[in-house]
Amino acid sequence: MQLYTSIEIEQIQKDISYLSEIMEWVKSFLGRHHPDLGRPGPVCPFVPYALKSNNIQMAVIRTNNLDSQQLEDIVKRYRDIFLEIASQDKGLAIYMAFLLIFPDIQIQETSKLIDGIQEKLKPLFVESGLMIGEFHKRNESSGLHNPNFRPLRSPVPLLAIRFMVESDLPFLQSPDSPHLRIRYLEAYLKHFAHQHIDKTKLNEVYQALTLAKEQVKEETLVKY
């Protein structure tokens, strides 16, 4: 049984339009095929079953009067909540997703706040076996199979939290910094090396890790 105060009801009324808008976007865009995607299936392969199993949860986060550090702290708390919930039902955990909606962030602020927070917190999330994705109208990240497709554009700014999966490897090999690539690849191996994954992909990870470590050594020699 759930009871609401008058203030809580007013807040729900303010938030419901954003929750409805994002849920419709999840169903009609992420959960379906797009002609520009460049491969068969929905934009996000996990969304259809995540919806069917009722494993997508959303929160509307009001950012007025909050600075970047306060927003980071909020996102980190949701990471902890995600891991706690996932530990209670490991069978369906792979289909879990949190969508943190930020309706107060203006479009001109998305690069600083949404992209900035995602970039800063991604190492922490990856080392926890999670991925954190940034979505907004100006996102220029391209699709893996079509460089002209923009899969991370959403009608309202948001950050998505989910578990890392095997197919996330390209996103962990992309940083220019070899130090960051090492952190990501070692986290990938920590979570997948002892599972029954594609051996070719596993070898690719070891090779990429070796290359990144060699690059760090070369940079150190040049520096000194």
**Per-residue DSSP letter, 43:** S
What region does 29 belong to: left with phi over 0, alpha with psi -120 to 50, or beta? alpha
List the chain domain ranges. Answer: 6-164, 178-223
Q: How many alpha carbons lie under 13 Å from residue 115 in its C-beta half-sphere? A: 15
In this prediction, residue 223 carries a pLDDT of 67
Check residue 224 and give its pLDDT: 62
Q: What is the pLDDT of residue 133?
A: 97
Amino acid, res. 125: F
Taking the chain (224 residues) in consecutive chunks of 10 residues, what is each chunk's mean pLDDT?
92 96 98 96 95 95 92 97 89 90 95 94 96 96 94 97 92 88 93 78 88 86 69
Beta partners for 135?
A: 158
Q: Are the CB atoms for 162 and 135 separated by under 8 Å? A: no
pLDDT the model gives residue 61: 96
Q: How far apart are CA 38 and CA 125, in angstroms?
A: 28
Q: Is 55 in contact with 92 (CB distance < 8 Å)?
A: yes
pLDDT of residue 56: 96
How distant is the alpha carbon of residue 191 from its chain centre?
17
pTM for the full predicted model: 0.92
The residue with tokens 């369906």 is 92
Q: Which of 188, 203, 67, 60 is nearest to 125 (CA)?
A: 188
Check if the beta carbon of residue 214 is closer than 8 Å to that of residue 181. no
Give me the DSSP letters along 150-188: -TT--SS-EEEEEE--GGGHHHHS--S-HHHHHHHHHHH
pLDDT recorded at residue 173? 87
